[in-house]
Structure 1
């Protein structure tokens, strides 16, 4: 049974506890903030090494949409672009009606003044337990939310840096991810380099998307490409705890990474 099936089916043995459990439970009308027998799973075992795949998937889903809502409100107002990105994320996940309602409620919970952002992030980090690629995917989704209106407000950047800090992502890693997502969005808007001939801007963005430069060697470009493809491989991410519903998001990212690589290859006439 999938993580969602266990949630709605009442099989709560894997359930979260802590603030993530509280958020998910509140949207469904259940008291998930405590584990079985009333034990708070977030604090009951400080050496705990992470939960089942279904539990990680539930945590990722819950944190993704609630933090998206918090980030959208960071600059003082939620724009239509940010709401539309949330809708697009839900559409790309092909959520059923119950899942969509839950995602919307989580998004709205994140907009509340008393949203426990730090506690949510700390629990997500614990649930993911060194699943670095999963953490990176989460942060990429949040960065895309902040950039939905085409501008990164200082308040949004501050929240993003806080998210990165509490998830154990270094400032240098965060800056590289930010540059990659910015380039990815611009590259995608130009048609993923599908123009003929390819615009110089698309070539520049393709390099930024892969995290390399025009001075990088062919071997360095190929290595960066293979690393990013591995990090965003849908099946690998799902095995680490990405909700199955988010496979299409990961698939789209690999498509854009591959398109960027093809643009660079064409511009160099080799590799």
Structure 2
């Protein structure tokens, strides 16, 4: 994570502003560097010191934990199970340790304190990644995971999920494909929704849908697009879900 080393070292700034720029500026200025990194204004004064990919990674990283902070507050409280889910995501899926893990927590805490809305963070995220649908779908998947973390899909959380669907411009098929993995559904129905195809579809159509989805989430494809390296492990898990769904449907169709 070269971008993180540069930012934490106080040697560069970034050119993006908005609510996400304010969050990471506060997270770093208030905690990591009292001596070398004066404030978020330092970052605004030294623009374009991160290359395009590093800046993209910074926005991605900040977006995740800023959005999760507001989303976790949707039902009025941040529950222990939601915190555990986010911490597991930090440690197990993004494999963050040391300063990286601490920065993630600081961003989460700063975003909780700020008055910016979930919609503002989600919109800035989408504006930066709307051409990378794999990443957008992955973010939506994570939000669903946090929504059901406490085994209570609160109506306020569902409102935020629907806001994210609208902001991310997901169609109903994409929405159901992800939602079905977390909201109780008959197993076979869930597998069809993951592949975004109908139970009435013939096996040829199922295979076509599978290949399309598998290509989107194949780790090599994710790396090739220059997406943040922290997303690769998460994409691998999505890829596994797609393969599992295909195998279950194949078993049913060819029995």
TM-score, with structure 2 as normaliser: 0.83
Question: Quick check: 2:25–2:43 contact (8 Å CA) kept in 1?
Answer: no
Matches within 5 A, 1:115-126: 115-126=116-127
In structure 2, the residue matched to 1:37 is 45
Matches within 5 A, 1:87-106: 87-91=87-91, 92-106=93-107
What stretches of structure 1 of length at least 5 have no aligned partner?
A: 42-50, 188-199
TM-score, with structure 1 as normaliser: 0.78
Q: Deviation above 6 Å: which 4+ runs of structure 1?
A: none
Question: Quick check: 1:69–1:111 contact (8 Å CA) kept in 2?
Answer: yes
In structure 1, the residue matched to 2:28 is 28
Structure-1 separation of matches of 2:160 and 2:194 = 23
Question: Quick check: 1:134–1:240 contact (8 Å CA) kept in 2?
Answer: no
Structure-2 separation of matches of 1:26 and 1:140 = 27
What stretches of structure 2 of length at least 5 have no aligned partner?
A: 30-36
How big is the alpha-carbon RMSD for the aligned residues of Structure 1 and Structure 2?
A: 2.7
The answer as to 2:182 corresponding to 1:181 is: no
In structure 1, the residue matched to 2:206 is 221
Structure-2 separation of matches of 1:69 and 1:118 = 12
In structure 2, the residue matched to 1:195 is none
In structure 2, the residue matched to 1:252 is 237
Q: Classify 1:185/1:129 alpha carbon distance in 2 versus 1 (closer, same or farther; 3 Å).
A: closer
Structure-2 separation of matches of 1:206 and 1:186 = 13
Q: For this pair of structures, how many residues does the alignment match?
A: 244
Q: Classify 1:140/1:60 alpha carbon distance in 2 versus 1 (closer, same or farther; 3 Å).
A: same
Structure-2 separation of matches of 1:234 and 1:32 = 34
Structure-2 separation of matches of 1:33 and 1:162 = 31
In structure 1, the residue matched to 2:110 is 109
Equivalent residue of 2:180, what SS? helix
The answer as to 2:194 corresponding to 1:209 is: yes
In structure 2, the residue matched to 1:48 is none
Equivalent residue of 1:245, what SS? helix
Structure-2 separation of matches of 1:224 and 1:216 = 10
